[in-house]
């Protein structure tokens, strides 16, 4: 948790170590905001239900809770509640602090509220997942060719950053027969998964896949070198929005350890690829700049919760010492130093910073959908 909560001694609840740690941005969410935003008031308005969690199982691979938001990534162990903070298998929550953090229900409620704040930030800045490009990249080959070396691959690289994710929707291999071909998905020397692709007697026939790629470095979609049909065309690796695509051949005993050489000629393998913006990491990397806006969103959403009292947790009059008129004014009036005025001011600053980003894929364009069909 990069954004923390400062101790204000308004509650007897001990928040977990992630919430209490000094945030790397230097900004605590509940400091420099309206004085009505206290830990006690937050806990009084956030939902409260009885929750039970499964016991830790050493045979289960647990994901990161704040990524999955799946309660199965929270466990009960030795009479304590632990939250998974790193993907792992057979990592004892009581001893493996790199994988687990001891927590409690109140801390989890606040964390999930903070995650909803982050979601609002991404939405307000138009940084939520958004289609960048979709392209069919293939050639209709008519010449038989034996691929050289041990492996042949499409290489996909994000342009400029790791804020672009990919989906490989379909794959085609133009090869005689119908014997399945292994497609190896590799990233930075690691084999991510192996998918079987069935040829269609030398025809271009796309088969649906569900391959999701995100992160840094090159992604290889490799097959064992074999006889395929090609056309001899070449591709411009830089023609696609959001990513670079080219072909390569590799020498080695395994797809993930082979040494690859770049080329731009077809390899009998076609792909349907979608590139999409996934800017969560962008916000994390630039938190020192976007921190004030995140805190303003936190303040604004907290006051919305105070006004609506949507969870009917407490008597608002006892918790928030202001009339309905004043509370509504904090959320509506922009001609005074109100919660909503600070929210709009910080959003304007955040948008100006975003416009200066080096990564042009983060900027919202005219909204037109671009679909490319390309021949190698």
Stretches where the chain sits below pLDDT 50 are 1, 366-375
Q: Are 66 and 116 in contact (CB under 8 A)?
A: no
pTM of the model: 0.70
CA distances from 191 to 143, 186, 246, 284, 364 (A): 31, 5, 19, 27, 34
User: In the structure, how many helices (H) and strands (E) does the chain have?
Assistant: 9, 18
pLDDT at 370: 44
pLDDT at 331: 94
CA distances from 218 to 34, 70, 213, 373 (A): 46, 30, 10, 22
pLDDT at 242: 84
CATH 2.60.120 residue window(s) in the chain: 130-278
Q: How many CB atoms lie within 10 A of CB 106?
A: 19
Distance CA 226, CA 243 (A): 27
Tell me yes or no: is domain 130-278 CATH 2.60.120. Answer: yes
Q: Are 301 and 365 in contact (CB under 8 A)?
A: no
Q: What is the DSSP string of 320-360?
A: S-S-HHHHHHHHH--SSS-HHHHHHHHHHHHHHHHHT-S-G
Q: Are 193 and 185 in contact (CB under 8 A)?
A: yes
Q: Are 376 and 233 in contact (CB under 8 A)?
A: yes
Distance CA 228, CA 103 (A): 56
pLDDT at 353: 81
């Amino acid at each position: 948790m990069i954004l923390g909560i400062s101790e204000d001694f308004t509650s007897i609840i001990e928040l977990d170590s992630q919430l209490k740690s000094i945030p790397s941005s230097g900004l605590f969410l509940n400091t420099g905001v309206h004085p009505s935003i206290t830990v006690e008031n937050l806990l009084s308005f956030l939902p409260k239900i009885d929750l039970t969690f499964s016991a830790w199982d050493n045979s289960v691979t647990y994901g990161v809770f704040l990524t999955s938001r799946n309660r199965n990534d929270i466990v009960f162990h030795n009479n304590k509640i632990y939250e998974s903070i790193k993907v792992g298998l057979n990592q004892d929550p009581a001893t493996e602090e790199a994988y687990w953090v001891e927590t409690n229900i109140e801390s989890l409620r606040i964390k999930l509220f903070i995650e909803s704040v982050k979601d609002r930030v991404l939405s307000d800045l138009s940084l939520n997942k958004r289609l960048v490009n979709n392209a069919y990249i293939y050639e209709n080959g008519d010449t038989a060719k034996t691929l050289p070396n041990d492996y042949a691959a499409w290489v996909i690289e994000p342009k400029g950053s790791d804020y672009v994710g990919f989906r490989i929707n379909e794959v085609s291999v133009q090869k005689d027969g119908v014997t399945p071909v292994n497609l190896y998905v590799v990233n930075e020397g690691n084999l991510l998964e192996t998918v079987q692709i069935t040829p269609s007697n030398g025809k271009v026939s796309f088969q649906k896949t569900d391959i999701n790629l995100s992160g840094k470095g090159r992604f290889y979609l490799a097959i064992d070198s074999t006889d395929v049909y090609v056309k001899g065309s070449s591709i411009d690796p830089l023609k696609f929005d959001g990513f670079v695509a080219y072909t390569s051949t590799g020498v080695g005993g395994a797809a993930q350890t082979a040494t690859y050489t770049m080329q731009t000629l077809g390899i009998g393998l076609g792909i349907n690829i979608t590139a999409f913006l996934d800017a969560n990491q962008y916000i994390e990397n630039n938190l020192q700049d976007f921190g004030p806006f995140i805190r303003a969103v936190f303040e604004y959403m907290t006051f919305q919760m105070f006004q609506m009292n949507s969870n009917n947790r407490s008597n608002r009059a006892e918790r928030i010492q202001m009339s309905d008129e004043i509370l509504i004014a904090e959320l509506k009036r922009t001609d005074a130093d109100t919660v909503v005025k600070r929210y709009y001011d910080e959003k304007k600053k955040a948008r100006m910073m975003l416009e200066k980003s080096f990564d042009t894929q983060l900027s919202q364009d005219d909204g037109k959908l671009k679909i490319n069909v390309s021949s190698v």
